Structure 1
């Protein structure tokens, strides 16, 4: 059997981590078994589906590199297929027209709830009650009234539903548009989907969908329902509750490899291994290792994984993603270190690319003032002589390398008989405006000789002016 999975989101909002994990599992299952992965946009909810949401889904899946073999298909472009199938079901007696008004259905629902009964359609029109064919109607599926639906969930094991608990759901609305539950079933059948991997909130839909498949003369695919993801507050993540869109993680400086690795582990495990390459994921993923229990989202764990990838992926690759953030910060990088070198400088200190971009400005842009707290602590009269001496030595360097810069620092410290830190901290604030940076020798080297000297002069002027101000 040729394996074929699908990811079929509804474009009523952005793609959040729950949907992204479902897509990842379906994609990995297909890749592991040499099958195909289909992207299908289920946009039958015409009022809530939006073009920006569709684009956000496609952008998110593309950013995560979950390439699809077919699609994207759009259900709104397939209405003629659905309606032809529904007309055939009407002809064969597998479905029927329901002329019940909203008022009658509302009254029926209220009476059932008052009797503590499960609200459901009572089958009035199923029994061939005569109606005026010119009146508006919906089409309902004629669900079996006896027996049960039993299926083996690939995550949860055997699940059974009694048919008497299932009512005759609507498969086409008054306006002629087919409904979600029918479109899903027809598409899975028509597209040859062999395995449906989706969230556990769809479990209750499964028996109805299996019955419709049987009415269509089709064999049901295998189902695997994945447990929910809980937020850090213990509540279910959803589009309406604290779920962040996938592209927001890009905006916040996460690498796609890090998010994919994290989502993989959010409900699946392979021993104690934490980090997986894409090839390892494809080779190792299976549904047997998917947990039945909810998973809790942990931002700190995601940050740890992201920091790992920033440190271990090639600097050339990191630089391509960093460039997006650099442009977003409107930093002109024409004067300063190459982005590849910047990654090497900052990767050990930054957990996100956004942090890297926001902290690198002093490598490329001059400034006319210093961080207030850093200047108060390190740019004072005690720093004046060390800064003057190190400036003189840096100015005379004919070879501008980290080693020559460090040697100048050592020599200055020896002459003053102080630790390098007594010179290093004032110098760091002078050339970066702040008290934190990568190692001083590589930082000063990356900033450049002329720019470093000019900034030391600015710091010396600051000390002189501050001293005069205090005397006054």
Structure 2
């Protein structure tokens, strides 16, 4: 050990390592602590330096990635949410797969008839939006809140399920901005059709 410090970079470990400081008592393997430390290392690594180690995990899911701004943005949104690279790869799937399926509980809770109006309204507004930036997306949601009288959560959660298939994801404005209009609008339309077909009015 080195005082109360638990997190070390490789260079720090080299600098402070001393055989005289190795304890004689048996070590205890703590998986939770290991994952917590791994999460810290993921956060401390630049997105660019995570591309290469992340690539094989995505390849297992038949996803090939390019070293471009898209993957850098994807990684940046997932770093605070990932304990391992395998975890990050699983969370990244919705950014790449077009065949998004809705988790049953998520669809039952949020893809209801009450979600039709905000989903349709958002689709229209996004199709008309020329300058597709996160700031403008936030303005679109504010306009929708004023028009519908709904709070952000009532709008954002159905949209989150429509785009990711799940109830948990990075920030809604981040994922809408990263996915881009060409991915977002078809997914919103898919969710609208799902509600129209599967939910009693």
TM class by smaller structure: over 0.9
TM-aligned CA deviation for residue 369 of structure 1: 3.4
1:448 lines up with 2:174 in the alignment: no
Q: How does 1:123-202 map to 2 (within 5 A)?
A: none
1:293 lines up with 2:22 in the alignment: no
1:315 lines up with 2:73 in the alignment: no
- Between the aligned partners of 2:10 and 2:95, the Cα distance in structure 1 is 34
TM-score w.r.t. the length of structure 1 is 0.41
Instruction: Extract unaligned runs of 5+ from structure 1.
Output: 1-268
- Between the aligned partners of 1:337 and 1:372, the Cα distance in structure 2 is 33
TM-aligned CA deviation for residue 276 of structure 1: 1.7
User: 1:418-439 CA deviation, whole Å, 9 max, x = no partner?
Assistant: 2111100011111111111100
1:366 lines up with 2:98 in the alignment: yes
1:414 lines up with 2:146 in the alignment: yes
Matched residue, 1:284: 16
Q: Aligned in 2, Cα 1:310/1:382: closer, same or farther, shift over 3 Å?
A: same
Q: Aligned in 2, Cα 1:329/1:345: closer, same or farther, shift over 3 Å?
A: same
Matched residue, 2:194: 462
CA RMSD across the alignment: 1.6
- Between the aligned partners of 1:368 and 1:343, the Cα distance in structure 2 is 19
Higher helix share: 2
TM-aligned CA deviation for residue 332 of structure 1: 3.7
Kept in 2, the 8 Å contact 1:431–1:456? The answer is yes
TM-aligned CA deviation for residue 309 of structure 1: 0.7
Matched residue, 1:376: 108
Match of 2:163 among 431, 437, 441: 431
TM-aligned CA deviation for residue 368 of structure 1: 5.6
Higher strand share: 1
TM-aligned CA deviation for residue 339 of structure 1: 2.1
1:354 lines up with 2:103 in the alignment: no
Q: How does 1:201-220 map to 2 (within 5 A)?
A: none
SS at match of 2:190: helix
- Between the aligned partners of 2:92 and 2:197, the Cα distance in structure 1 is 28
Kept in 2, the 8 Å contact 1:303–1:351? The answer is yes
TM-aligned CA deviation for residue 277 of structure 1: 2.0
TM-aligned CA deviation for residue 338 of structure 1: 2.6
Q: Aligned in 2, Cα 1:455/1:423: closer, same or farther, shift over 3 Å?
A: same
SS at match of 1:295: coil
Greater radius of gyration (CA): 1
Match of 2:63 among 306, 313, 331: 331
Matched residue, 1:69: none
Kept in 1, the 8 Å contact 2:47–2:75? The answer is yes
TM-aligned CA deviation for residue 374 of structure 1: 0.5
SS at match of 1:359: helix
User: 1:224-249 CA deviation, whole Å, 9 max, x = no partner?
Assistant: xxxxxxxxxxxxxxxxxxxxxxxxxx
SS at match of 1:444: helix
Matched residue, 1:51: none
Larger RCO (CA under 8 A, 6+ residues apart): 2
Matched residue, 1:270: 2
- Between the aligned partners of 2:106 and 2:11, the Cα distance in structure 1 is 47
TM-score w.r.t. the length of structure 2 is 0.94
